[in-house]
Amino acid sequence: MGAVSKKVLIFGIDGFTGKHLSHYLKEVGYDVFGTSYADTEDKYFQVDITYKADIQRVLEEVVPDFIILLSGISFPAHGHNEDFYTINTIGAINILDVLVMLAQNPKKVIMASSATIYGNQGLEILDESLCPKPANHYGASKYSMECLAVNYFSKLNIIITRPFNYTGVGQEENFLIPKIVKHFRENKKEIELGNLHVSREFNDVSYVSEVYKKLLESEAKGKVVNIASNRGIKLLDVIDMMNEIAKYDIKVKVNPAFVRQDEIKTLTGSSKKLFGLIGEVEQKEFKSTLREMFEA
């Protein structure tokens, strides 16, 4: 009897999540292929998901058993709003259209949406029963993708994920935690932040990678699920941890331009549905994540 095929194709393999996830999946026995907008190498294909011909070419060559869609623009302050919809919405649905056209039905197609689709709900814990209220083009483009992808649930084995904040080595420095770590690594004496008395999820990218693996291997399909831990971490606690790791105290200044009015003090995602599908997933203490980022 031959070995079970475990070919996984990651769209957007060269991004922050894709690099960590591909490394992890290779370690646990997956045959990993990927697409990049710019680069090609062994098992990596140059693909622009706004062109169906590019998608068709890679799907016909790889014929994946699993697909994980990470491609997209993930920084909400990206300057060209139309790009969010061209890539995050239309590009994502192009992949589903080509799969149906080729009559390929992978064991699992995981599509990364975002917790930003919830917008400001006025609640401390966000679960999947809430009606999305995206407040920016990034969130709206991801919710548009979700709305369209649901129409393919009867044709393909799809799971849509809504990841909450996560970080780790290699994340771009325009995100909050890498920004903080960079200030300490460069021995800066002060840092400007927004609201200090807030608590948010800051999960480790290794936790997210493990969740994706378990979702691939689960029986779940036709689901929309948070990738969350319901683990809130106070921003001032992050500063205290970094003070200890870097062995000096940084001066924190509040920049009014960074302060959001009526910001919720505690905001986390419910992990109840997620853990109901795949079992509970543990993750390292956040101080360990910070230390890895600082020492990288």
Catalytic residues: 138
CB 187: neighbour CB atoms within 10 A? 9
Alpha carbon distance 255, 92 (integer Å)? 37
> Per-residue DSSP letters for the chain?
-PPPP-EEEEETTTSHHHHHHHHHHHHTT-EEEEEESS--BTTEEE--TT-HHHHHHHHHHH--SEEEE--S---TT-S-HHHIIIIIIIIHHHHHHHHHHTT---SEEEEE--GGGG---S-SEE-TTSPP---SHHHHHHHHHHHHHGGGTTTS-EEEEEE--EE-TT--TTSHHHHHHHHHHTT-SEEEES-SS-EEE-EEHHHHHHHHHHHHHSS--SEEEEE----EEEHHHHHHHHHHHHTSPPEEEE-GGGPPTT--SEEEE--HHHHHHH-------HHHHHHHHHH-
CB 280: neighbour CB atoms within 10 A? 9
